[in-house]
Amino acid sequence: MSGNVHVKEHPAPSRYEDLESFDTPCYLFNPATVISDYLKLKNALGTPLIVSLKANPNIDLFVRCAHIFEDGVELASLGELVLMSGRAGVPKIVNTPALDAQLLAATLASRNATVILDNPDQVDLLLSLKAPSKRVTVGLRLNACSFLDCVVKPAHEDHFGVDLESLCAMASRLQDADIDVSGIHVYGGPLTFENYGLPLAEKAPAIINEVTSATGKGIEFLNLGGGFSADWDVNSEYFRQYREAIEPLKKDVVLWHEAGRAIFRRGGSFFTKVLAVKRLNGRHVAICDGGMAQAFLLAQTENFLRRPSKPVLIPKEAEGRPSLDAPVVIAGSSCNRADIIGELTEGLTPKAGDILRFDDCGAYHTYSPVGFLNLKQSNFYIMS
């Protein structure tokens, strides 16, 4: 990642005395890092950049960054709308295939909101409410796989949105009810920018034309999603080609992009305390007070090939501590054999009371199983 944005970032603590007051397991979010990464991506794209709140819905972090998130936040549930209500002061884009009457009504009641309709039933729902408030802007979600079928990998196919034909029918129906379709949302899926960024940009004029023909009116915005990884590279040839491809579109519509992982991942660290260390089958096992219940992604249960995270060991006292003589498996607190969140292969041997810091955990920290064993939930800290 690169760019010319200067924001003073503060590194995550790495001395035990700076962490003694931390109530583990916990996350530390760094607003300066989040702001820096947001601005770098926005500047590199040269378009508005919507923040996907599902990637990090922590309110304390949001209030520290919201003055920068002026392009808006994407919300996918009533809970996320509640999080933002009264605080956001930025456009809210509600977008979920599970939109129900309660969420739609609350969205319609909100100021500066856009609702993205995923399917014809949601059009019916909107029309049934008979109150398509002037305050709400309506967009439609186009399924990316449906018109990129020549390039989409089966593993990337998803159920979001509809095909272009259905989308045009939805647009006509809304138009008949005197509701303008202001824009289209199309998204290739997480981490797919380098698969579908260019094909989407190249197909975009056709999408705009089809919808314009169906409604007899132009659209105002086109959200191309993003699917950016946290280590997207502004200097890559692909990124340069993408920038070139989207440039002509800007004269017809306001282009939006959207990101979560690329904005938040670097801006959060997960901390867990070592409760016990034992030797088992030629390796050490460090059992911690946090694990997959608080930082599910570290367990990598959804990955075909696991590459264990390597945390930073922050020893309570380092003096006289022997170096590792065998690998250490980092186990969480959930009594689940899959609750392995990392490993140590070098450095000091961990002891009970030590703290482990996992960096790059700022995105999707809430993507965790909750309720099992009634385990302690994470605490959250924010860097000043």
Partner 1 sequence: MISLDLASLEKAAAQIVQTKSAGVCLWGSLEESPFAGTPYKGILTTLPLRSVHEFAVASDVEKASTVPVRISAAQRYALLTEILAAARANMPNLSVMLVRLCGPDFQVQLPAELLAKDVLLTYDPYAMVPRLSRAGRKGILTVWQDLRVDRVDIGMNRVSVAVHDADSVPGFLKFVSASRTILSLSNVELVAPDHGVGAPAKERRQ
**What residues make contact with partner 1 under the rule CB under 8 A?**
8, 10, 13, 22-23, 28-29, 58-64, 66-67, 70, 81-83, 85-90, 105-106, 108-113, 379-384
DSSP state of 13: P
Cβ at position 341, least distance to partner 1 in Å: 21
Give the shortest CB-7-to-partner 1 separation in angstroms: 11
Whether 295 contacts 380, CB under 8 Å: no
Kindly report the backbone phi and psi dihedral angles of residue 341, in degrees, each rounded to the nearest multiple of 5, phi listed first.
Answer: -110, 0
In sequence order, what DSSP letters do the residues of 33-44 get, joined into one string? HHHHHHHHHHHH
Q: Which is nearer to partner 1, 108 or 254 (CB)?
A: 108
Report how far apart, in Å, the C-alpha atoms of 60 and of each of 65, 66, 253, 376, 384 are: 9, 10, 34, 20, 11
Smallest separation (angstroms) from partner 1 to the CB of 65: 9
CA distance 111 to 274: 47
C-beta closer to partner 1: residue 48 or 218? 48
Nearer to partner 1, 101 or 373 (CB): 101
User: Minimum CB separation from partner 1 for residue 187, in Å?
Assistant: 26
Q: Left (φ > 0), alpha (ψ -120 to 50) or beta: where does 374 sit?
A: left
Q: How remote is the C-alpha of 240 from its chain's centroid?
A: 23
Measured from the CB atom, is 1 or 108 closer to partner 1? 108
CB closer to partner 1, 105 vs 169: 105
**What distances in angstroms separate CA 52 from CA 56, 77, 300, one per listed residue?**
8, 12, 22
- The residue type found at 348 is L
Instruction: Return the number of the residue (103 or 142) whose C-beta is nearest partner 1.
Output: 103
Taking a C-beta distance cutoff of 8 angstroms, is the pair 333, 290 a contact?
yes
Min dist. Cβ of residue 35 to partner 1 (A): 9
- Cα separation, 19 vs 305, in Å, equals 33
Residues, the chain, total?
Answer: 384
Shortest approach of partner 1 to residue 87 CB, angstroms?
A: 4
User: Nearest approach, Cβ of 316 to partner 1 (angstroms)?
Assistant: 18
What minimum distance in Å lies between the beta carbon of 143 and partner 1? 29
Q: Toward partner 1, which CB reaches closer, 172 or 379?
A: 379
CB of 15 to partner 1, least distance (A): 12
Cα separation of 39 and 49, whole Å? 9
Looking at the Cβ atoms of 64 and 265, the one nearer to partner 1 is 64
- Is the Cα torsion angle 234, 237, 243, 244 positive or negative in sign? positive
52: Cα separation from own chain's centroid: 5
The CA angle 45-265-44, to the nearest 5 degrees, is 10
Helix extents (H) in 275-327: 296-299
* Pick 42 or 173: Cβ nearer partner 1: 42
